[in-house]
Amino acid sequence: MSESIERVKCLIIGSGPAGYTAAIYAARANMFPVLYQGEQPGGQLTTTNDVENFPGYPEGITGPEMMIELQKQAERFGTEVRDGWVTKVDFSGSVHKVWVNETKEIHCDTVIISTGASAMYLGLPSEQKYLQLGGGVSACAVCDGFFYRNQEVVIVGAGDSACEEAHYLSKLCKKVTMLVRRDEFRASQIMEARVRNTSNIEILFNTSTEEVLGDGQVVTGVRVKNNVTGKVHDIEATGFFVAIGHKPNTDLFKDFLELDPTGYIINVPGTSKTNIEGVFVSGDAADNVYRQAVTAAGTGCMAALDAERYLAAIDSTFEVNTATNY
């Protein structure tokens, strides 16, 4: 092995609740984890202004503050947190090979993937502006809907997730306006029926978003266009929810790990194990259902425990083989 190649017992790819929780457990198990934060240190929660549904924070906490605390906790137990991102992997052999920033090569006994998934947005400058300000744009109704109780909101999307989130918002908000770009839903019939039969959900078909309106700090409305007539009008709203899907950050692993048709890593049910021994997955990279900070943290714990047991099994096998050779 070249002196330039580093050997790591447990490498964690990605931060966020999953990565940092895996690091806490791995460090406490003397696995000496090394964690690379990735292109978005702290993950999606760094774009969330207020987190009120994570246990242990009765007064709530901002997403960035929560990630700083999780990082400090991981480092307290000995995790080495590094800047940089993984650009290449090779899981074809008995040694798990990982390259960081296209140059540094690391050989790993175990790898925990916590790269998450990225919410897809419309890409409008006004949308991104208020997303960054934390002033009314969200891609998670379950996370942020609570802040819009008894208010009027707009949601964009036409699939099952959009219908589910619109129905969730309808229980909290005075009115939910649902924008569907085409003249029909992509959702299943049961989900479509659910939103159609909810009295405070208004569905606008053939409607696209032109601009998210605001006062420079928070959202005050949405400018929309009818794709058939070309008519443009404004809708008053304090929240703008985007439910057009998520993209798991897993392209890096597609040549080695089993992925589902939408790109999520397939794990052995009830575990964090992938189809490659010694490679584990946690968080939203494998979760297309819940996508919550608390569930991500739980699977981070699972991944570290699975990795620890994997290493223990290897060590015991080595000891048995060594004893037999004498």
Catalytic residue among 144, 284, 287, 306: 144
Catalytic residue among 143, 163, 173, 284: 143
∠131-136-142 over CA atoms, to 5°? 95
Q: Tokens for 209?
A: 């978003």
Clarify whether 144 is annotated catalytic. Answer: yes
Q: Look at the alpha carbons of 117, 120, 125, 126 in this order and tell me if their dihedral is positive or negative.
A: negative
| Of residues 160, 113, 141, 125, the one with CA closest to residue 48 | 141
Catalytic residue among 140, 163, 173, 284: 140
Q: Tokens for 217?
A: 């700090």
Clarify whether 50 is annotated catalytic. Answer: no
Clarify whether 301 is annotated catalytic. Answer: no
Give dist(CA 97, CA 118) in Å, integer: 25
Phi, psi (rounded to 5 degrees) for 175: -150, 140
Collect all residues with Cβ–Cβ distance below 8 Å to 137 and sequence separation of at least 6: 127, 130, 131, 212, 219, 239, 240, 241, 242
- Provide the annotated active-site residues: 140, 143-144
